């Protein structure tokens, strides 16, 4: 596959370049700010032949990215987090295929399933979500924390409400889920879902030890989406193809 990396000059973009170089695919071009050949700050300047786009960038680039992809009918893997609304992505997915996930690691997507099951099984337990990331991360809480909230909320028939960074003088409501973001150093990404019962606590934690796991997951997603013609997919669709064999 000839791949366009959106956010090629960023931390994840650079890891993805190395991951693609170690595969049988090719980095055809990138979006970012650089004087290097084949790197552009405007999608209109991309003239290379592109089979698939992988996006690790910023919500600011979502509209131009989707305009480019839908006009040229190029499949897209979106990994960028901090996107407020799914409206544009839903609309674009009717014209070109899109995979969207806040986390492309294998373990987080298993954690998502576990968290939903535990939430459904331990109906009376209080649930809190904690995420820790490096000091360069801009969005909070993480895209993964949002995914994990949706998972535990599904387990309780969507009766839970999120309380971001709890503060003030009010006791915890039984249906609230506190979501807490820690930022510091070079932490790649740690997510914990804690279930508090009477006299017992169950913690489910995923720790990422490298950014490469996200790059590899996004490349698997690209291999999956490049064969599709339209529609919105998530990592579960890819897990079924790649890990259930």
Ligand X SMILES: O=C(O)C1=N[C@H](C(=O)O)C[C@H](O)C1
Q: Which residues bind ligand X (CB under 6 A)?
A: 81, 102-103, 133, 137, 142-144, 189
Using CB under 6 A as the criterion, what x/- string covers residues 185-224 for binding ligand NDP? Answer: -----------------------------x----------
CB 69 within 8 A of CB 53: yes
190 binds, among ligand X, ligand NDP, none (CB under 5 to 8 A by kind): none
- Which residue lies nearer to ligand X by CB, 97 or 102? 102
146 is catalytic: no
- Give the range of 18-26, 97-105, 116-124, 191-199 binding ligand NDP by CB under 6 A: 97-105
| Contact call for residue 4 and ligand NDP (CB under 6 A) | no
- Which residue lies nearer to ligand X by CB, 93 or 103? 103
Q: Restricting to residues 146-175, which ones interact with ligand NDP according to CB under 6 A? A: none
- Give the range of 77-85, 117-125, 167-175, 177-185 binding ligand NDP by CB under 6 A: 77-85
133 is catalytic: yes
The answer to whether the annotation marks 81 as part of a ligand binding site is yes
The answer to whether the annotation marks 144 as part of a ligand binding site is yes
Distance CA 243, CA 245 (A): 6
- CB-neighbour burial class of residue 217 (10 A; exposed 0-12, middle 13-18, buried 19+): buried
57 binds, among ligand X, ligand NDP, none (CB under 5 to 8 A by kind): ligand NDP
| Contact call for residue 9 and ligand NDP (CB under 6 A) | yes
Torsion of CA 212, 213, 218, 219, to 10 degrees: 70
Out of 137, 146, 191, 211, pick the active-site residue: 137
Q: Which residues are annotated binding-site positions for NAD(+)?
A: 7-12, 79-81, 101-104
Give the residue numbers marked as catalytic.
Answer: 133, 137
């Amino acid at each position: 596959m000839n791949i366009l990396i959106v956010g090629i000059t960023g931390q994840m973009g650079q890891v993805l370049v190395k991951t693609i170089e170690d595969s049988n695919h090719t980095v055809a071009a990138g979006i970012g700010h650089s004087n290097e050949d084949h790197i552009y700050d405007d999608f209109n300047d991309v003239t290379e032949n592109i089979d698939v786009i992988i996006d690790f960038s910023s919500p600011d680039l979502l509209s131009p990215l989707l305009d480019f992809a839908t006009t040229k009918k190029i499949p897209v893997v979106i990994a960028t987090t901090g996107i407020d609304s799914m409206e544009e992505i839903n609309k674009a997915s009717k014209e070109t295929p899109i995979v969207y996930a806040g986390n492309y690691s294998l373990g987080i997507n298993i954690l998502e399933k576990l968290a939903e099951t535990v939430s459904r099984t331990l109906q009376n337990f209080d649930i809190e979500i904690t995420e820790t990331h490096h000091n360069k991360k801009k969005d909070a809480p993480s895209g993964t924390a949002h995914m994990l909230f949706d998972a535990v909320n599904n387990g309780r028939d969507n009766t839970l409400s999120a309380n971001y960074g709890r503060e003030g003088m009010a006791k915890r409501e039984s249906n609230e889920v506190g979501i807490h973001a820690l930022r510091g150093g070079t932490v790649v990404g740690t997510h914990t879902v804690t279930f508090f019962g009477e006299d017992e606590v169950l913690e489910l934690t995923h720790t990422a030890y490298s950014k490469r796991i996200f790059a590899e997951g996004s490349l698997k997603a690209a291999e999956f989406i490049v064969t599709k013609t339209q529609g919105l997919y998530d990592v579960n669709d890819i897990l079924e193809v790649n890990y259930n064999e």
